[in-house]
Structure 1
Amino acid sequence: MSGRFSEGKMTAAMREMASVLNVSPDGARLLQLTNNAVFALPRHGIVIRIARTHQLLDRVAKVVQLGRWFAEIDAPTIRLVREVEQPIHFEGLHASVWRYVPSHPPAPTVDDLGTVLREFHALGVPPFPLPAWDPIGDARRRLADADGLSTPDRDFLVDWCDRLEPEVAVLNEHGTRTLVHGDAHVGNLLRESSDRMLMCDFDATCVGPWQVDLAAVAVGDARFGEAGRHRALTAAYGSDVTSDPSWAVLRDARELKMIAAAIPLLATSPSVAAEFSNRLHSVQRDDPTARWRPFADLAVPTSPSAERGHGASLGGGVPAERR
Structure 2
Amino acid sequence: MNDFQQALEQACAAAGLDPGNARLLRMGSNAVYHLKAPVIARVSRPGSDIGLVRRSIAVARWLESEDYPAVRVIGVDQPVIANGYVVTFWESVADDGDQFASTPEIAAILAKLHRLTAPEDLRLPRLDPFANAAPRIDASTWLTADDRSFFTETLARLQDAYAELEFALPQGVIHGDASVGNVMRDRNGAPVLIDLDGFADGPREWDLVQTAMFCDSFGWHTRQEYEDFARIYGYDITTWPGYPVLREVREFLMVTWLIQKAAEDTQAAAEAAKRITALRTGASRMDWQPY
The TM-score by the shorter chain falls in which range? 0.7 to 0.9
Instruction: Select 1:177's aligned residue among 168, 171, 195.
Output: 171
1:163 partnered with 2:157: yes
When the two structures are superposed, what TM-score results if normalisation uses the length of structure 2? 0.87
- CA deviation map 1:211-251 (0-9, x unaligned): 11121122222332342332232133221111123212211
**What is the DSSP-based 3-state SS (H/G/I as helix, E as strand, rest coil) of the residue aligned with 2:130?**
helix
**What is the DSSP-based 3-state SS (H/G/I as helix, E as strand, rest coil) of the residue aligned with 2:131?**
helix
Change (3 A) 1:272 1:197: closer
Instruction: Select 2:34's aligned residue among 32, 40, 43.
Output: 40
Indicate the residue corresponding to 1:150 in structure 2.
Answer: 144
Asked if structure 1 preserves the Cα contact closer than 8 Å seen for 2:56 and 2:197, the reply is yes
Cα deviation for residue 209 of structure 1 reads 0.7
- CA deviation map 1:139-162 (0-9, x unaligned): 112111021212222222211111
Unpaired stretches in structure 2, ≥5 consecutive residues:
none
Aligned pairs for 1:5-16 within 5 A:
8-16=2-10
Write the distance in 1 (CA, Å) between the matches of 2:266 and 2:108.
Answer: 39
Asked if structure 2 preserves the Cα contact closer than 8 Å seen for 1:189 and 1:198, the reply is yes
**What is the DSSP-based 3-state SS (H/G/I as helix, E as strand, rest coil) of the residue aligned with 1:98?**
strand
**What is the DSSP-based 3-state SS (H/G/I as helix, E as strand, rest coil) of the residue aligned with 1:120?**
helix
1:235 partnered with 2:231: yes
| Identity %, equivalent residues | 26
Asked if structure 2 preserves the Cα contact closer than 8 Å seen for 1:171 and 1:209, the reply is no
Asked if structure 2 preserves the Cα contact closer than 8 Å seen for 1:183 and 1:213, the reply is yes
Asked if structure 2 preserves the Cα contact closer than 8 Å seen for 1:172 and 1:208, the reply is no
Cα deviation for residue 60 of structure 1 reads 0.8
1:245 partnered with 2:241: yes
Write the distance in 1 (CA, Å) between the matches of 2:267 and 2:69.
Answer: 37
Indicate the residue corresponding to 2:84 in structure 1.
Answer: 92
The worse-fitting range, judged by mean Cα deviation, of 275-284 and 119-128 is 275-284
1:54 partnered with 2:54: no
Change (3 A) 1:125 1:247: farther
Change (3 A) 1:172 1:222: same
Instruction: Select 1:76's aligned residue among 56, 69, 72.
Output: 69
RMSD: 2.6
Unpaired stretches in structure 1, ≥5 consecutive residues:
1-6, 297-323
Aligned pairs for 1:183-262 within 5 A:
183-226=177-220, 227-228=222-223, 229-262=225-258
Provide the aligned length of Structure 1 versus Structure 2.
Answer: 287
- Larger RCO, structures 1/2 (Cα 8 Å, 6+ apart): 1
Indicate the residue corresponding to 2:109 in structure 1.
Answer: 116
- CA deviation map 1:118-174 (0-9, x unaligned): 111211234232222222222112111021212222222211111121332344898
Cα deviation for residue 10 of structure 1 reads 1.5
Write the distance in 1 (CA, Å) between the matches of 2:92 and 2:262.
Answer: 34
Asked if structure 1 preserves the Cα contact closer than 8 Å seen for 2:168 and 2:240, the reply is no
When the two structures are superposed, what TM-score results if normalisation uses the length of structure 1? 0.79
Aligned pairs for 1:311-322 within 5 A:
none
